[in-house]
Amino acid sequence: MQGLMMDYPLTMDRILEHAARMFPRKQIATMLPDGSMHRYAYADMHRRVKRLSKALCTLGVQPGDRVATFAWNTYQHMELYFAIPGAGAVCHTLNIRLFPDQLAYIMKHADDRIVFVDATLLPLFERPARDAGCVGRVVLMNAPKGAAVGVPCEVLHYEDLVAGADEDFEWRSTDEGMAMGLCYTSGTTGQPKGALYSHRSMYLHTLGINQAAAIGLVESDIMLPVVPQFHAMAWGMPYAAAMAGAGLVMPGPHLKADALAMMIEQEQVTVAAGVPTIWTALYHELKKNPRDLSRLRSLGVGGAAMPRSLIEAFEKELGVSILHAWGMTETSPVGTVCRLQEAHEELSDAGKWDIKALQGYPIAGVEMRIVDGEGKELPWDGEQVGELQVRGPWVVRQYYRMEPSPESFTKDGWFRTGDVAAVTPDGYMRITDRTKDLVKSGGEWISSVELENALMAHPGVREAAVIAVPDEKWSERPLAVVVADPDERKPSQEELQGFLAKRVAKFWIPERFVFVEEIPKTSVGKFSKATLRKLYSAGQLE
Ligand code: AMP
C-alpha cells in the first residue's frame, strides 16, 4: 500500500524561498577584490536570483543545459547556485586551479556553452575556453564595460542580465529528479570524471549536513566557506546556510591566512570550513597575530586528514573546536562527520583529540562498509583495514556521460571510494590511505597518512607528505617530503627518525627524507602525491 502524503518535490528553489520568507534580512557579506565588503540580505538575493533565472531562459537556456561558472566564492556565485538550477539548467562549477588542458577537456566533455566568469580570472579562462571550442557566450562578473575577452564568443555582463529581467518568473525546476549541479573530480589519475547532482540529492544532502550530529548550522550562525565553490559545491555550505537562515561571509579571492583571520574576527564568524592546509596557515597566523575568536564555535575541516597535532594545537592553544569530516565530490560531498558522543565525555582532552582525529561516523543518509581484496565485508574492530564503500541518496551511481565501471561501482550497488579505512566498533571511520598511496614494504602495508600525521606532530615540521618509492630489497619504501617550520629550529633527518621511532612500527620509519620549501598542492589545496611521485619516482632525491 502507498502512503497518502503530498507529492512535494525536493527542489533547491524551495530552500531559497524559505530563506527569503523566513530570514529576509539575514546578511551575506562578500569581500570584493579591493578588500571592501559587499553586503546584502537573502531577500535581495532572492529577487536577483529570480531575475537571473528569467534572463537565462530568455537567452535560450533549456532544461538540462550545462551553464558553467569560473569564479571565487562570492554573492554572485551563490546567486548562480540558485539561478541556474532554478532555470532548470545544471550549474557546472569549473575548478579555476586546474591545468588548461584539463579545463578544456572538462568544458568540452560537459559541452559548456555559457560560462559566468569573474573578471579577475579571465587570464586563466581564455586559453582553455578557446581550446574547448564550445563556449559561445561569456558572462563577465565585476568587469568594466568593453572588457576584452580572448575567446571568440558573445560577451555579456552580469549586472546587465540582472537589470534586464524582472522577477515575474516561475521556477523551471519542477521535478526533483532533474540535474542541478555538476562537479568534476580533481582525480589524480585518468581524466576528470563528473558527478551530476540532482535537486533531490542536493536537497537531502543539505538536510543531512544540517543535522545536529553533522555540521548543524542554525539561524544564529555566521558561516565562512573557505572551501571553494568550485570544489564539491563548497561542501554544500551555501545551501545549508540558506536553509538554516545563517549569515554568510564569502571570502572572494582573499584566501591568505591574515585576511581569513581578519574576516573571522570582524564578521564574527561562528563556523568556517576548509582543507587542513588552509587551517595550518591560519594557526601560524593566529599565533603571531592573536585575534578575538570567541564567536568561532567550530572549524570544519575535510578534504584531507587533519593531523591530530593541529587539532590539539587549535583546541589547547587557541580554544577553537575542530570538526573533522570526510567526503568526496562523488558523495555531494559530506559522508562522515566526527562528533563526539556521550561515551566520550569522560575522556581526558588527549583522549578526545584522539577521537577527533578520526574521520567520524556516517551522517544519517549515508551507509558505509569496508571490504577486503575479494570484496568480503570486514568487521568494525578498529584494526582491520579495507576499501571503504558507501551508498546513499547523495552518492553517485554513475559518472556523467560514462558507463558505470566495476572499478568504481560494485554489482550490489555500492560506490567504491578508493579510500582505505578501518572502523571502530562504534562506527568511527579512520582513513589510513588512498588505495594508490599505500606503501607496500616487504609485503606489509605502511600508511602514508599515519606517517604524515606522526611527522607533523614534530614542532619543527610544518608539513609532511609521504609517498612510496621503489626499493630493490623491499619493493617499496616510504619517502618523506618535509617542510621545516621557518619559525623553529630545523630538525635533522636523524631527529625525525628518532621522533617517529616512539610513534610507529620500526619498519615504517623512512630512510629517505627530502627537505623542501613547499609541498606541491593539488587544485583544491591537498598535497599532490602525483606530483611528488613524478619528482621522486625513481627514488632520486634531487
Ligand atoms: P575530492 O573529491 O577532491 O574532495 O577528494 C575526495 C578524497 O579526499 C577522498 O576520497 C579522500 O581520499 C580525501 N579526503 C576527504 N576528506 C578526508 C579526511 N577527512 N581525511 C582523509 N582524507 C580525506
**Nearest-atom index, ligand 1, CA of 359:** 19
In short, whether 126's Cβ falls inside 6 Å of ligand 1 is: no
Q: Which stretches of 77-135 are assigned E, i.e. beta strand? A: 90-93, 114-118
Three cell numbers written together for 85:
538550477
- Cβ burial 373-388 (10 Å sphere, 16+ → b, else e): eeeeebebeeeebbbb
Answer yes or no: is the C-beta of 326 below 6 A from any ligand 1 atom.
yes
Q: Determine the average pLDDT of the residues in 109-120.
A: 98
Query: Does 434 sit in the ligand 1 pocket, CB within 6 Å?
Result: yes
User: What span, in angstroms and rounded, lies between the C-alpha atoms of 336 and 324?
Assistant: 9
- List the residue whose alpha carbon is closest to atom 20 of ligand 1: 305
Query: 330 an active-site residue?
Result: yes
pLDDT band of residue 480 (cuts 50, 70, 90) is very high
* Residue whose CB lies within 8 A of the most ligand 1 atoms, among 336, 394, 419, 524, for a mutation test: 419
Phi, psi of 441, rounded to the nearest 5 degrees: -110, 120
- pLDDT at residue 473 in the model: 79
445 catalytic? Reply is yes
Alpha-carbon distances, residue 378 vs 140, 430, 436 (angstroms): 52, 14, 20
Residue 108 CB neighbours (<10 A): 15
- Closest residue CA from atom 6 of ligand 1: 328
In whole angstroms, what is the distance from residue 173 CA to residue 202 CA? 13
As a whole number of Å, the CA-based R_g of the chain is 23
Is the pTM here over 0.85, yes or no?
yes
Using alpha carbons, select from 84, 11, 66, 303 the residue that is nearest to residue 196.
Answer: 66
Cα distances from 468 to residues 194, 510, 513, in angstroms, run 28, 10, 12
Q: What is the average per-residue pLDDT within 206-233?
A: 97
Residue 440 is among the residues annotated as catalytic for this protein? yes
Q: Is 185 in the pocket of ligand 1 (CB under 6 A)?
A: yes
pLDDT per residue as tens digits for the range 430-478: 998 887 788 888 777 788 888 999 999 999 999 999 999 988 878 889 9
333 preceded by cis ω (within 30°)?
Answer: yes
302 touches ligand 1 (CB under 6 Å): yes
Q: Please state, in angstroms and rounded to a whole number, the distance separating the CA atoms of residues 104 and 126.
A: 10
Task: List, for residues 257-275, the tens digit of each pLDDT value.
Answer: 999 999 999 999 999 999 9
Please give the Cα distance from 146 to 97 (Å, whole number): 26
Please compute the mean of the pLDDT values over residues 111-120 and round it to a whole number. Answer: 98
What's the pLDDT tens digit per position in 153-175?
Answer: 999 999 999 999 999 999 999 99
Q: In whole angstroms, how far apart are CA 192 and each of 97, 330, 490? A: 13, 12, 38
